[in-house]
């Protein structure tokens, strides 16, 4: 499921799963992004203008495929909740 996230602020956001995620690793490599997606963790697209889109397990791979083929630069970062849940945030640079 793809869903807009409204409760975002600098350094943390509330995911569609109700957990609060904080930045752990500012930049991760493609292999780690793919490993995390393969493990079933969600992807969040941070689009130019500050819009956040949540992609659950079903939409995570298509979101990553879009990022890999984008003409813009897209970087990945790792975010975690206090409960140990992980989210990959893909930042689209205009």
Instruction: List, for residues 17-75, the tens digit of each pLDDT value.
Output: 999 999 999 999 999 999 999 999 999 998 888 888 999 988 999 999 999 999 999 99
> Which pLDDT value is given to residue 50?
80
Quote the CA–CA distance of 79 and 81 in Å, as a whole number: 7
- The pTM of the full predicted model, rounded to 2 decimals, is 0.88
The residues, ordered by sequence, that sit 6+ positions from 52 with a Cβ below 8 Å of its Cβ are 4, 5, 8, 13, 44, 45, 46
d(CA 50, CA 7): 11
Largest CA distance in the chain: 35
Q: Which of 90, 89, 72 is nearest to 81 (CA)?
A: 89
- pLDDT score of 57: 84
């Amino acid at each position: 499921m793809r869903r807009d996230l409204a409760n975002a602020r600098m350094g943390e956001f509330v995911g569609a799963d109700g957990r609060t995620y904080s930045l752990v690793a500012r930049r991760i490599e493609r292999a780690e992004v793919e490993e995390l997606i393969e493990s079933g963790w969600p992807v969040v697209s941070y689009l130019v203008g500050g819009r956040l889109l949540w992609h659950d397990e079903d939409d995570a791979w298509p979101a990553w495929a879009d990022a890999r083929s984008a003409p813009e630069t897209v970087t990945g970062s790792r975010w975690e909740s206090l409960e140990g849940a992980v989210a990959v945030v893909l930042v689209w640079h205009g």
